[in-house]
Amino acid sequence: MAAKWIETITGSLEQKKQYRQYKARIEALPEPYRTTAKAFDRYFMYYGGITDGDTIVTMLGDFADLWERAAVDGTPVSAIVGEDPVGFAEEFTQAYGGTQWIDKERARLVQAIDEAKKEEER
């Protein structure tokens, strides 16, 4: 019962556990994969803005899988990210399409404009 109450306040404990596992997997990568994955991780936190915890942990798990596989195979970083690392990062996050912070703001904007239009009609 206490775990349920704590999760109400802090969010899913399982998702937090999965996130910590993801971070450990990234830390365990050999160079240059670790540095590259950390750089993308930082960018994801600023760009992605995904608010759905399940989507985030799925995306990050897949991201760790990608770099672990690349390290095992010896795939060069450039072969994965190409010439446009920003484009790669943005396409990667968009593929998971969860609810983003901007979606809430878009809805607020539309609602505010709808209310303003109703006021004009009165």
Number of domains in the chain: 1
Instruction: Report helix, strand or coil for 50.
Output: strand
Closest CA to 18 of 64, 50, 83: 64
Give, in order, the Cα–Cα distances in Å from 90 to each of 67, 80, 96. 17, 14, 10
Domain that holds residue 36: 2-121
- Looking at residue 21, its pLDDT comes to 97
Query: How far apart, in whole angstroms, are the C-alpha atoms of residue 110 and residue 105?
Result: 9
- Looking at residue 48, its pLDDT comes to 66
Instruction: Report helix, strand or coil for 100.
Output: strand
26: left (phi over 0), alpha (psi -120 to 50) or beta: alpha
- Looking at residue 119, its pLDDT comes to 86
| pTM given for the model | 0.74
Q: Quick one: tokens of 42?
A: 């930082």
- Residue 10: alpha-carbon gap to chain centroid: 18
Q: Residue 22: which CATH number?
A: 1.10.1900.10
Task: Print pLDDT tens along the chain (122 aa).
Answer: 555 655 555 567 888 999 999 999 999 999 999 999 999 999 988 876 676 788 889 999 999 999 999 999 999 999 999 999 999 998 998 888 766 667 778 888 999 999 999 888 87
Cβ neighbors of 34 (< 8 A, separation 6 or more) are 26, 27, 28
- Looking at residue 2, its pLDDT comes to 59
